[in-house]
Amino acid sequence: MNACASRVIRLSLLLMLPWTGGGCASIAASVRGPEGEITEKARRLCELGLLSRPDLSLFPADMRPEDSIRPEDLAYLQAHPEFPPSSPPPSQPLRCELKSPPNTDDGFATVQVKLRPGAEADGPTAEFPVNFVRTSAGWRLAYWFAEEGAVSPQMAAAQVPFFSEPMTKPKKLSGEDLSYTQEAVEKRIQGHMAIRCVITREGSVINCHSLKSLPLMTPVALKMLWGSRFAPATLDGKPIAVRYMFHFKLKTTFRP
């Protein structure tokens, strides 16, 4: 058996899909510790419609933005009140459920969210992750706006919107899947990558940039994304260019 065959390698891809809406269902009150902190913050942000539109003026008096938002993002929002480009609000009330407790591995946590149409409306449900990072003061929601603004001012100027729930999400049509390189396996590279790209109205992937990198694997992920083709996001039945976040969770398990 060669060196690679002695390892079990797991790779998963998460798409970060922002959400706004009018209410959340909380996870069981028995959840405690970091999981309880994260899910409670996700629930409150969900109820306030702040998961994708962090309007600081909407925070109630008993909920300070600095207690919920990653410091880098909060500083960027305070310095750039015009950021991010606005997205159209949903045309009907939406309901949000927090499906599962977060996995808090490696200082990065994901809460799975299920989005449903309003009680009197028909339509498909959608599931997406909400991402938190561990800071010295506790867990905070990561919007990645600070990195986004630093590396892609041309996108902010072009007012390319972030993907949001009134849109139908892009669907991958062709292209390779991400896989470990031999060197990354040998050096036991693992963790999270966050990459933001623009998916055009024609389904091409352009203007990708890494917001959270991993050595040896970020160039591989960028090449994979650039070579992929998508059915574009649509809004009111029309194709639309969007800024789309890809999250990759890479983990290697080494057998003795």
112 has pLDDT over 60: yes
Measured distance CA(160)–CA(19) in Å, rounded? 17
Whole-structure pTM value: 0.66
Under 8 Å CB-to-CB from 193, ≥6 apart: which residues? 210, 212, 213, 214, 217, 218, 221, 247, 248, 250
**Which pLDDT does position 218 carry in this prediction?**
93
Name the β-bridge partners of 229: 174
**Distance between CA 157 and CA 151 in Å, rounded?**
12
What's the chain's Rg over C-alpha atoms? Answer: 19
Count H helices and E strands in the chain, helices first.
6, 13
SS3 44: helix
Average pLDDT over residues 19-41: 58
Spatial distance between the Cα atoms of 165 and 74, rounded to a whole number of angstroms: 23
For the chain, give the number of residues.
256
Percent of the chain with pLDDT over 70: 68
Give backbone dihedrals phi and psi of 124, rounded to 5 degrees, phi first.
Answer: -75, 155
- What's the average model confidence in pLDDT over 78-106? 67
Q: Quote the CA–CA distance of 170 and 203 in Å, as a whole number.
A: 8
- pLDDT(64) > 90: yes
Average pLDDT over residues 38-63: 83
41: left (phi over 0), alpha (psi -120 to 50) or beta: alpha
pLDDT in tens, 192-250: 888 989 999 999 999 888 888 899 999 999 999 999 999 999 988 899 998 888 888 88
Assigned CATH topology for domain 1-17+169-256: TolA/TonB C-terminal domain (3.30.2420)
Question: Residue 150 pLDDT more than 50?
Answer: yes
For residue 229 the two structure tokens come to: 């083709």
**Would you list the domain boundaries of the chain?**
1-17+169-256, 18-151
